[in-house]
Chains A and B, each alone.
Chain A
Amino acid sequence: MFDLLWLIPLLPLAGFLTITFGGSRLPSAAAAVIGVGSVSVSAVLSFLLGGTFLLHPPEGDAHVQFLWTWMLVGDFAPSVAFRLDALSIVMLWVITGVGALIHLYSVEYMRGDQAFKRFFAYMNLFVCMMLILVLADNLLLLYLGWEGVGLCSYLLIGFWSEDPSNGAAARKAFIVTRVGDTAMALGLFLLATELGTLDIQTAMARAVERWPVGSNLAVATALLLLIGALGKSAQLPLHTWLPDAMAGPTPVSALIHAATMVTAGVYLIARTHVLYSLAPTVQFSIAVIGGVTLLVAGCSALAQKDIKRVLAYSTISQIGYMFVALGVGAWQAAMFHFMTHAFFKALLFLGAGSVILSLHHEQNMLKMGGLWRQLPVTFWTFLAGGCSLSALPLVTAGYYSKDLILHEAWLFRGMGWFPWVAGVIGAFLTSLYCFRMLFRVFFGEEKTHVSYRPGWRIHLPLTVLAVLALVGGFCETPEWLGHVNLFSRCIEPILPAEAISESHAGGMIFFQVTALGVPLFGLLLAIILYLKPRTVSTNRFMRQRTIQRVRRFWLAGWGFDALYDALLVRPFVWVAQINRNDCVDRFYTGIAWLNGMGHRLLVLTQSGRVRWYVAGIALGVAFILGMVVAS
Chain B
Amino acid sequence: MMGTIPPEHGIFLAILLFLLGLTGVLVRRNVIFMLMSLEIMLNAAGLAFIVAGAAWGQVEGHVMFLFILTMAAAEVAVGLALVLRMYHCFKTLDVDAASKMRG
Residue numbers of A with Cβ under 8 A of B are 603, 606-611, 614-615, 618
Judged by a CB distance under 8 angstroms, whether B9 is at the interface is no
A618 with B102: CB separation less than 8 A: no
CB of B101 closer than 8 Å to a CB of A = yes
Of all chain A residues, the one with the shortest Cβ separation from B19 is: A618
A617 CB → nearest B CB, Å: 10
Cβ-defined contact, B100 with A610, below 8 A? no
Residues of B within 8 A of A614 (CB): 25-26
Whole-angstrom distance between the alpha carbons of A610 and B98 in the complex? 8
Nearest-neighbor residue (CB-CB) of B101 within chain A: A608
Q: How far is the CB of A592 from chain B (nearest CB, A)?
A: 20
Contact A608 B25 (CB under 8 A): no
Q: Verify A611–B102 contact, CB threshold 8 A.
A: no
- Asked if A610 and B95 make an inter-chain contact with CB atoms under 8 angstroms apart, the answer reads yes
Q: Does any Cβ of A come within 8 Å of B99's Cβ?
A: yes
B residues sitting closer than 8 Å to A (CB atoms) are 22, 25-26, 29, 34, 95-96, 98-103
Report the separation of the CA atoms of residues A615 and B26 in the bound assembly, to the nearest whole angstrom: 7
B100 touches A611 (CB 8 A): no
With both chains docked as a complex, state the minimum distance between the C-beta of B65 and any C-beta of chain A, in angstroms. Answer: 21
A608 touches B99 (CB 8 A): yes
The answer to whether A609 and B99 touch across the interface, beta carbons within 8 angstroms, is yes
Which A-chain residue is minimally distant from B96 (CB atoms)? A609
For B99, the chain A residues whose CB sits under 8 A away are 607-610
Residues of A contacting B101 with CB < 8 Å? 606, 608
The complex places the Cα of A606 from the Cα of B22 at a distance, in Å, of 21
Least distance between A605 CB and chain B CB atoms (Å): 10
The answer to whether B26 and A608 have CB atoms under 8 Å apart is: no
Given A614-B25, A614-B26, A618-B26, is A608 in contact with B95 using a C-beta cutoff of 8 Å?
A: no
Closest to B23 in A: A618
| A603–B102 alpha-carbon span in the complex (Å) | 8
> Please, how many angstroms separate the alpha-carbon atoms of A124 and B50 in the complex?
85
What is the bound-complex CA distance between A26 and B41, given in angstroms?
A: 72
- A608 contacts B22, CB within 8 Å? no
Interchain CB contact under 8 A, A618 and B103: no
Give chain B residues whose Cβ lies under 8 Å from the Cβ of A615: 26
Nearest B residue to A603 via CB reads B103
Docked CA distance A119–B2 (Å) = 101
Q: In the bound complex, how far is the Cα of B98 from the Cα of A606, in angstroms?
A: 13
B95 to A606, Cβ gap below 8 A?
Answer: no
13 contacts between A and B (CB under 8 A): A603-B103, A606-B103, A607-B99, A607-B102, A608-B98, A610-B98, A610-B99, A611-B26, A611-B29, A611-B34, A614-B26, A615-B26, A618-B26
Chain B residues, Cβ within 8 Å of A610: 95, 98-99
Contact A611 B95 (CB under 8 A): yes
What residues on B are CB-neighbors of A608 within 8 Å? 98-103
Q: Closest residue of chain A to B102, judged by CB? A: A608
What 9 A-B pairs have minimum CB-CB distances, sorted nearest first? Answer: A608-B99, A608-B102, A608-B101, A609-B99, A603-B103, A610-B95, A614-B25, A615-B26, A607-B102
Give the residues in chain B near A609, CB-CB below 8 Å.
95-96, 99
Residues of A within 8 A of B29 (CB): 611
Known: A618-B22, A618-B26. A611 touches B96 (CB 8 A): yes
> What are the residues of chain A within 8 A of B22 when measuring CB–CB?
618
Output the nearest chain B residue to A604 by Cβ-Cβ distance: B103
A385–B22 Cα gap in the complex (Å)? 98
Considering the chains assembled together, what is the distance between the CA atoms of A609 and B94 in angstroms? 11
Q: Are B25 and A611 in contact (CB under 8 A)?
A: yes
Known: A606-B103, A611-B95. 9 other contacts (CB 8 A): A603-B103, A607-B99, A607-B102, A608-B102, A611-B26, A611-B34, A611-B96, A614-B25, A618-B22
Distance from B98 Cβ to chain A, minimum over Cβ atoms (Å): 7
- A606–B103 alpha-carbon span in the complex (Å): 5
CB distance from A607 to the nearest CB of B (A): 6
B45–chain A nearest beta-carbon distance, Å? 12
Contacts of B100 in A (CB 8 A): 608
Which of the listed residues A607, A611, A615 has the most CB atoms from chain B within 10 Å of its own CB? A611
Task: Tell me which residues across on chain B come within 8 A of A603, comparing CB atoms.
Answer: 103
Distance of A343 from chain B, by nearest CB (Å): 74
Chain A, residue nearest B37 (CB): A614
Interchain CA distance A608-B96 in the complex, whole Å: 8
